Structure 1
Amino acid sequence: MGAICVDAGTTVIKAVGYDSDGAELAVARRETRVTRPAPGHAEQDMRAVWEAVVSCVREVAPPDGVDFVAITAQGDGAWLGGSDGEPTGPAILWNDGRAASIVEEWAPLAEPAFRISGSSTASGLPNAILAWLARHDPSRLERSAACLTCGGWIFSRMTGVIAADESDASAPFMDLRERHYSPDLLRFFGISGELLPEIRSERVAGLVSSELGLAAGTPVVMAPYDIVSTALGSGAVSAGQACGILGTTISTEIVLDAPELDGEPIGITIAMPEDRYLRAFPTFAGTEVLQWACRLLGLPGPAALTELAATAPPGAGGLAFLPYLSPAGERAPFLDPQARGSLLGMSVEHGREHVARAVLEGLTLTVQDCLAASGRRPHELRVCGGGAASDVWVQLIADVTGLPVIRSADAEVGARGAYLVGLLATGAVPALAPAATRFVR
């Protein structure tokens, strides 16, 4: 029959319908709003996200049903629900910066925590958000029964099961060697663990929601969260393969056979299917920086920005850009909640094209810096996300990194990765590698 794969991003919810041969049949999209009610805050209406998911799924659902539904979504943050399964307030997102001062207080814990989890802490991770709520909104915690991620929230609405995928649970509380919550990490961060959902190794549960227009009992698969599913959907399924996501976040990622916990305590390490791990460096900088530059320069969109950048010489006439525009600072390839962006070396000889070029080069150097921080030299870099549509940017990444850069032919790469995991979880394929060979374009 086929499948439906949901990719619930930060600003757009998508549902992709596939036929039984893995061909994309239909895509539905709904924009979702991020609200910033106070400086540094980033929130979403949890019910609005669910309603967008329902609308997208109903749009692409075939009349004869599907073999499974698979879910991938934005990671991190805190999606708090009560004992009745309803939200106890808005979701606090991965790019929220309200807990920056708490992260700074935890600086002495950074290295010992990394040796257990393989991940550094940022203000948008659940430990920081829960600690902030304990200080500033304890009644929210008292009303809550579970701290989920976006994917966990959607899975719970579809199936009634409260759980976390191993990828969502990886940072900041997982003992990566054992793949369970670490009592030491909970103690480090002063978190009781009562709100943390069970880490579910069994990815499949039966659909119970009647809102989607699908048959009760349809298998629902909790795929890894978006940066992991996107790596899989790009074809990065085996150790040594690398992926670069040029989206709301720029995430540079390498697949490992085993966790590496003795390196520089920066970036995150995420449990993947088949006992593999993803060493990832997701920045707070990404296409949002391009949108900011477009507003600054009066350009209609990123495509116009990259075209303008191509008219300036390499090096942008000595103009340099630091792309740290997030109120949360930066988390990769270094952690600094106070990091802020700047244009350096500007003079009256610089024009709009130099600014555009400097912005693009600044983001590209972030990719190179993250590759360097990984300590690995992949033989190629697979890129995807909205930014990968730009020939100028992709060529610049190839020039700066010195790597062959391969673009995914799939527009919906995260959904494709969720599709591969859905096939694996439902027993339709024996392993991810042959599935990627067959279905990744």
Structure 2
Amino acid sequence: MSFVIGIDKGTSVIKAVVFDVSGRDCGSSQRRMEVLRPQPGWHEEDPERTWRLCVETIKEAVAAAGISGSDIKGVGIAAHMGGAWIIDKDGQAVRNAVCWPDERAQAEQMALERAGLLDRIFAISGNGLMPGITLMVLAWLSRHEPDILDRAHVVLCAKDYLRYRLTGGLATDPSDVSFVPGDIDRREHSAELMSLCGAGDWVERMPRILESGEVAGGISANAATETGLSVGTPVVTGLGDASANALGVGRMRPGDALTVLGTSCLNSLILAKPNRDPPGLGFLFAMPCERYIRILPNTSGTITMDWFLERFGGPKKPDGTWDFSAMEQLAGAVPRGAGGVLLLPYVNGSGVLAPFFDARARGSFFGVGSHTTRDHLLRAVYEALCFSTRDCFESMPVKPSSLTLTGGGSRSAFWAQMFADICRLPIEVSSAKESGALGVALLAGVATGLWPNLETAIGQTVQTVARYEPDPQAQPEYEGWFSLFREARDVYRGYSGRRADLTSGALTA
């Protein structure tokens, strides 16, 4: 029997999953990423350590499937986008990798805003800026660590670095180029854009671009020794995580919509051609089959829940992990509207990218009274991420007829029903528990002949396992709360600038 393996290197966790031709998860493994924070607001990784974690997950996933490395016919890699993984001519990392949540380039980004360059940047790329995108990181390095440029041979994204370690080949794909960002219409790097962003000196360090499903190389002898995979096993170029998740839940038709409940809530719409509406906001990424994905993200996705639990606590299982079933019972006992408490879920230091742009926006609980308990605040967190998702889809160029949820939170019937009620859309949950890994595994399977094309691959591997219809009784009540949510976020935006001015040290704000 033939198998493919998908590797999904996330911000928090790296996973490897073995799939058979039916899309069944036959064996998987994961490791927590090790984040380095040498200064406040910085988010780095040791590339060598990340590679070691990748090796461990591959070996364990293959072992868990009860097969050998020779049974793996193809490998695909997905990873978070942006940041910079820079290597020298010998293939050694010249510094720690910088990842997308990094805030160090906030001053460079705000300088572009003051210079009135954001409209032109968006016109080329279809992307709003944030400090952790590749060009902002490179601009910061040019100013603060200029010696890095002299030592650098190529600038890679996370998935491209791992694929380099597997195959020895240097390349990227159109989806990751989208968030460098590049020219979205040409699906390639843009020298003009790099110059505008202050990264013009890095043009010659950008890698060649291969199609996402193209075989980019084979497992090298060294990588085979480390991972247990066979020498020469094909590895496809792969995808950025946003595009991989869409493919993994079978959403490739124009008009399909999905929300990834991850570190960022990626609210996404599949398009047949580039559409930059609403102008100046969010992201526009390339997809396989000449498709595009328009994303209006809440950059404070499930990190909002992480932040809440770290600060306020919550029920735990005997093994010390959070007991989300118990949390849902507590939140479910609180009426809609969380006892009058609203949360603006903008805790990410990068600010807000959609449905408005404000790098200095921050979150706030509103409506707290003497009656307020932790359970009220907890329900407000659940509701806030639903409100912010609807807030983004209200600004999309096309109104979706249904919404697919993916990510860990999608397995919660409590939360999925809340999304249906607040967003006023049927909510569908796909069979793919690891949609990012499956998305790139499908590319690997098509490239190696397991399936004749992506349409067939999706049809044979992806099913809808749950559907939640909006509750007619809940909708009128939530309409009032959603309206208040939008009014409150507009008012609080006016305070964010003043708050930031009063806060000493931008990176500690």
Give the TM-score range, shorter chain: over 0.9
Q: Is the aligned partner of 1:315 residue 2:327?
A: no
SS at match of 2:102: coil
Task: Give the structure 1 partner of residue 260 of structure 2.
Answer: 245
Task: Give the structure 2 partner of residue 233 of structure 1.
Answer: 248
Q: 1:195 aligns with which of 186, 205, 209?
A: 205
Task: Give the structure 2 partner of residue 87 of structure 1.
Answer: 93
How far off its partner does 1:256 sit?
Answer: 0.4
The answer (yes or no) to whether the contact 1:117–1:261 under 8 Å persists in 2 is no
What is the alpha-carbon root mean square deviation over aligned residues?
A: 1.6
Task: Supply the distance in 2 between the matched residues of 1:154 and 1:140 (Cα, whole angstroms).
Answer: 21
Q: 1:71 aligns with which of 61, 77, 87?
A: 77
Task: Give the structure 2 partner of residue 96 of structure 1.
Answer: 102
Q: 2:418 aligns with which of 381, 388, 396?
A: 396
Q: Which residue identity does 1:352 align to in structure 2?
A: R
Q: Is the aligned partner of 1:279 residue 2:291?
A: no
Task: Give the structure 2 partner of residue 8 of structure 1.
Answer: 9
Task: Supply the distance in 2 between the matched residues of 1:422 and 1:184 (Cα, whole angstroms).
Answer: 34
The answer (yes or no) to whether the contact 2:136–2:199 under 8 Å persists in 1 is no
The answer (yes or no) to whether the contact 1:72–1:222 under 8 Å persists in 2 is no
Task: Supply the distance in 1 between the matched residues of 2:87 and 2:407 (Cα, whole angstroms).
Answer: 31
Q: Which residue identity does 2:10 align to in structure 1?
A: G
Stretches of 4+ aligned residues off by more than 6 angstroms: none
Task: Give the structure 2 partner of residue 158 of structure 1.
Answer: 166
How far off its partner does 1:283 sit?
Answer: 2.7
Alignment map for 1:340-419 (pairs within 5 Å): 340-419=362-441
Q: 1:72/1:160 Cα in 2 relative to 1: closer, same or farther (>3 Å)?
A: same
The answer (yes or no) to whether the contact 2:451–2:457 under 8 Å persists in 1 is yes
Task: Give the structure 2 partner of residue 116 of structure 1.
Answer: 124
The answer (yes or no) to whether the contact 2:154–2:206 under 8 Å persists in 1 is yes
Task: Give the structure 1 partner of residue 285 of structure 2.
Answer: 270
Q: 1:390/1:351 Cα in 2 relative to 1: closer, same or farther (>3 Å)?
A: same
Task: Give the structure 1 partner of residue 53 of structure 2.
Answer: 52
Task: Supply the distance in 1 between the matched residues of 2:325 and 2:33 (Cα, whole angstroms).
Answer: 22
1:67-103 per-residue CA deviation (whole Å, 9 max, x = no partner) reads 1111111111111111111111111111111111111
The answer (yes or no) to whether the contact 1:203–1:223 under 8 Å persists in 2 is no
How far off its partner does 1:262 sit?
Answer: 5.4
Q: Which residue identity does 1:149 align to in structure 2?
A: C
Task: Supply the distance in 1 between the matched residues of 2:141 and 2:330 (Cα, whole angstroms).
Answer: 44
Task: Give the structure 1 partner of residue 269 of structure 2.
Answer: 254
The answer (yes or no) to whether the contact 1:416–1:440 under 8 Å persists in 2 is no
TM norm structure 1 = 0.96
How far off its partner does 1:45 sit?
Answer: 1.3
1:280-333 per-residue CA deviation (whole Å, 9 max, x = no partner) reads 123321222112212333203344433322111111222111111122222233
The answer (yes or no) to whether the contact 2:164–2:170 under 8 Å persists in 1 is yes
1:379-398 per-residue CA deviation (whole Å, 9 max, x = no partner) reads 11111111112222111111
Query: Percent same amino acid at aligned positions?
Result: 36
Q: Is the aligned partner of 1:204 residue 2:216?
A: yes
1:113-134 per-residue CA deviation (whole Å, 9 max, x = no partner) reads 1112111111110111111111
Q: Is 154-163 or 59-68 further displaced after alignment?
A: 59-68
Q: 1:43/1:23 Cα in 2 relative to 1: closer, same or farther (>3 Å)?
A: same
Task: Supply the distance in 2 between the matched residues of 1:21 and 1:388 (Cα, whole angstroms).
Answer: 22
Q: 1:262/1:250 Cα in 2 relative to 1: closer, same or farther (>3 Å)?
A: closer
Task: Supply the distance in 1 between the matched residues of 2:357 and 2:59 (Cα, whole angstroms).
Answer: 41
SS at match of 1:106: helix
SS at match of 1:369: helix
Q: Is the aligned partner of 1:168 residue 2:173?
A: no
The answer (yes or no) to whether the contact 1:6–1:15 under 8 Å persists in 2 is yes
How far off its partner does 1:372 sit?
Answer: 1.6
Task: Give the structure 1 partner of residue 231 of structure 2.
Answer: 216
How far off its partner does 1:435 sit?
Answer: 1.7
Which structure has the bigger radius of gyration? 2
Q: Is the aligned partner of 1:295 residue 2:305?
A: no
Q: Which residue identity does 2:375 align to in structure 1?
A: E
Q: Is the aligned partner of 1:29 residue 2:30?
A: yes
Q: 1:296/1:191 Cα in 2 relative to 1: closer, same or farther (>3 Å)?
A: closer
How far off its partner does 1:335 sit?
Answer: 2.5
How far off its partner does 1:440 sit?
Answer: 0.8
Task: Supply the distance in 1 between the matched residues of 2:389 and 2:434 (Cα, whole angstroms).
Answer: 21
SS at match of 2:372: coil
SS at match of 1:179: coil
How far off its partner does 1:355 sit?
Answer: 0.7
Task: Supply the distance in 1 between the matched residues of 2:337 and 2:54 (Cα, whole angstroms).
Answer: 43
Structure 2: runs of 5+ lacking an equivalent: 317-321, 464-509
Task: Supply the distance in 1 between the matched residues of 2:303 and 2:179 (Cα, whole angstroms).
Answer: 24
Q: 1:143 aligns with which of 151, 172, 191?
A: 151
The answer (yes or no) to whether the contact 1:70–1:419 under 8 Å persists in 2 is yes
Q: Which residue identity does 1:425 align to in structure 2?
A: A
1:238-287 per-residue CA deviation (whole Å, 9 max, x = no partner) reads 11111111112111111100001354211111111110001112332122
The answer (yes or no) to whether the contact 2:171–2:237 under 8 Å persists in 1 is no
Q: 1:325/1:335 Cα in 2 relative to 1: closer, same or farther (>3 Å)?
A: same
Task: Give the structure 2 partner of residue 132 of structure 1.
Answer: 140
1:36-69 per-residue CA deviation (whole Å, 9 max, x = no partner) reads 2211111111111111111111123332331111
Task: Supply the distance in 2 between the matched residues of 1:20 and 1:241 (Cα, whole angstroms).
Answer: 24
Task: Give the structure 2 partner of residue 106 of structure 1.
Answer: 112
SS at match of 1:374: coil
Task: Supply the distance in 1 between the matched residues of 2:23 and 2:335 (Cα, whole angstroms).
Answer: 43
Structure 1: runs of 5+ lacking an equivalent: none
Q: Which residue identity does 1:269 align to in structure 2?
A: L
Q: Is 301-310 or 62-71 further displaced after alignment?
A: 301-310
Task: Supply the distance in 2 between the matched residues of 1:276 and 1:267 (Cα, whole angstroms).
Answer: 17
The answer (yes or no) to whether the contact 1:122–1:335 under 8 Å persists in 2 is no
TM norm structure 2 = 0.84
